[in-house]
Structure 1
Amino acid sequence: YYKWFNNGMQKFNKWDSKLAKLIKISFLKFNKIYGYKILTLIINKIYNLSLKAHMLYRYMKYLNLKSVQRIKKFKYKLSSGPFRYENLLSQNFRTTELNQKLGTNITYLLTNKKTYYLSIVKDFHNNQILDYQISNNLGTNFVLKNIINAWIKAGKPKTWILQSDQEFHYTNQNYQRLCNYLGIKISMSKRGNPYDIDHTESWFRTMKSEFLNQISRKKRTTKWIISNLPYEIFKSKICSKN
């Protein structure tokens, strides 16, 4: 206490002005959207550092850097098909390697003129988006193409358990036949239980908060979506597990 008092009662011990500047620049570079945990991962990856999350938290608090709040997602309903499958995961998303447990899901992308739909396949082991597809309608073709492309990029494994909800895209005969042909085990969430698909829903929430909702809908064009969405997909690789 006396050492701190004699040093002028500094609010921050071992203050590094260069590090503070780097943190502030990185925070502003990503439009104030990242909290201290994700920002720590990004700074360590980009600048090859070994910063601790609690250290970044202290710097951000002292610099008064606060991330933006996420906007609540819009909910939409789709009629469901006839096929149902057991929930093989039951919220157990733990894995020991790639290509064990994955998730697929769909969300909307609002532009100034149209509504598009985004389908993803995500590996739960490293949280990477293996493939994504965009469609201007809610047909099933873009979902099937998404799964095929992800399966090929993953090396055509026979070990997948693919988790989805019970919407039409995953309860129809074409989806069933494709998964059987590729050797994919189908797992479906229980009705009314969002936690069963939270692994994919959480990525959608983050993507919309950090990317889509950064500009108003009036300024969102189809070209802007198509040009910038790949970078958001690439960020999933940066923030994935080592």
Structure 2
Amino acid sequence: MSDFALKLDPTERITYIGKKLGEEPCPTTLKITNPTSDRQACKVKCTSNEMFRIRPPVFALKPGEEISVKLTFNAGKTIPDSGKHYFAVYYIKATDENKAPRACWSDHKGDPTGTKRLYIDFKKEEGEEKKGEEKKGEEKKGEEKKGEEKKEEEKKEGEEKKEGGEEKKEEEKKEEKGEEKKDEKKAEDEKKEDKKEDEKKEDEKKEEKKEDEKKEDEKKEDEKKEEEKK
């Protein structure tokens, strides 16, 4: 058997993707191109005719011709494991253009000129509702996170405000104490001034007393002298 000469797109695997995979028919397309210089009779088969539908299953390709084969995964089927099933593409040379592709295959003896298997993968997407719910859940989480962050900020602000208030109170207390000390010092200074004033007055009294005593002594001395003269 020679190398597979036809050009396939996709080249290796067929993938079914859908959010309602298994619930509704899921079609996909296989493009087959004949790059050879000969007319080729082709057919596409699968591992389960109940599970898959192929349109067209048998056809002929002229040199350079391309065809799109519709491969449908039928509805109401359990989604099988990926890689379990496959499509197979076969071709043989069909030089008689007047001969139908099926007739070419009926008359053909032996193996096909080329065979290629394309294994099948299945990917079921999540529904829009579920995505919407997840998105809402994420948004809700984001809002809750923002709310928690806001509460944390308010708490910090409250603590800072409280600390600021306590500091202010402490400063006010210090200021009050400072004023009290100033008042006490002022009162103390006033007492000292009063004491000095009293001491000054006392000294003045003593001076006056001394002066009076001196005058009295002088008077007595004068009287004594007068008597002596007599």
* TM, length-normalised to structure 1: 0.22
Point out the structure with the larger strand share: 2
Which structure has the greater CA radius of gyration?
A: 2
* TM, length-normalised to structure 2: 0.23
